Amino acid sequence: MSDQARGPVLGIDTSAGIAVGVAAGGRVLARRWLGDSRLHVERVTPLIAEALAEAGIAATGLGMIIAGMGPGPFTGLRVGIASAQTLGTALGVPVRGVCSLDAVAAAVAEPPGEFCVISDARRGEVYWALYGADRARIGEPRVTPAQQVPDVAVTGPGVALAPELAGRALAGGPEQTDGGVLALVGPGLPEIGPEPLYLRHADANVPTSRKSTLVNRSGRVRLRGRP
């Protein structure tokens, strides 16, 4: 896919809250943000509609959709990705999947050298990626305890939730994903493909082993080991 959008760009990211934005002509036209992760399903479509309306652009006029592919929690992340893919299919518009942390890094005004973008991974862990002074990512995103984050300046939506990193917070650095920036820089960010960056398995998994059953004398089926 070309990294040049033929028309306005819509950015959608639900890796940490809901971030939606519209960009065209080298500038951000609209942005929306909602931090409540419990409202992904209910609010992502209305926020998209609000951003498009503020930008004065019909969905049919979009040239590209940028989808933040994480890393992020399974449930919230898939809502944004599904919304982007469904809209792209319906409109015949290309959907470009990018690392959500890359979009946060792009919003750092004056990188102090190498720095890390941090996002909350829950379970006492954080998602993070290392970036150079040119805002280009170094290596792949990871999920680890906060204590294992490299000893550099940190920024991003997970910093406030990791007290051990507070002393290294980048002054004035972005504290959340900016949907407008995502739409603006997304066409030029590295494309990661259609697979979300979950980095670990979802809490609910499909069983991989079969449970053996027995038929008792009454003809009732029961699981082995149960009365």
If you average pLDDT over each of 30-39, 51-60, 169-178, which comes out highest?
51-60
The answer to whether 98 touches 106, Cβ cutoff 8 Å, is no
Region 214-227: mean pLDDT is: 47
Say yes or no to pLDDT of 222 above 90.
Answer: no
Amino acid 74: pLDDT: 87
Of the candidates 25, 94, 10, 11, the residue with the CA atom closest to the CA atom of residue 58: 10
**Residues 177, 195: Cα–Cα separation, whole Å:** 20
Question: In this predicted model, what pLDDT tens digit does every residue of 166-208 receive, in sequence order?
Answer: 899 999 999 999 999 999 999 999 999 889 999 875 444 444 4
Cβ-based burial of 38 (10 A; exposed 0-12, middle 13-18, buried ≥19): exposed
**Residues 33, 182: Cα–Cα separation, whole Å:** 12
Domains of the chain: 9-188 (3.30.420.40)
pTM comes to 0.85
**Residues 27, 8: Cα–Cα separation, whole Å:** 10
Amino acid 123: pLDDT: 87
pLDDT averaged over every residue in the chain: 87
Cβ-based burial of 191 (10 A; exposed 0-12, middle 13-18, buried ≥19): middle
Task: Say if strands 9-13 and 18-24 run parallel, antiparallel, or are unpaired.
Answer: antiparallel
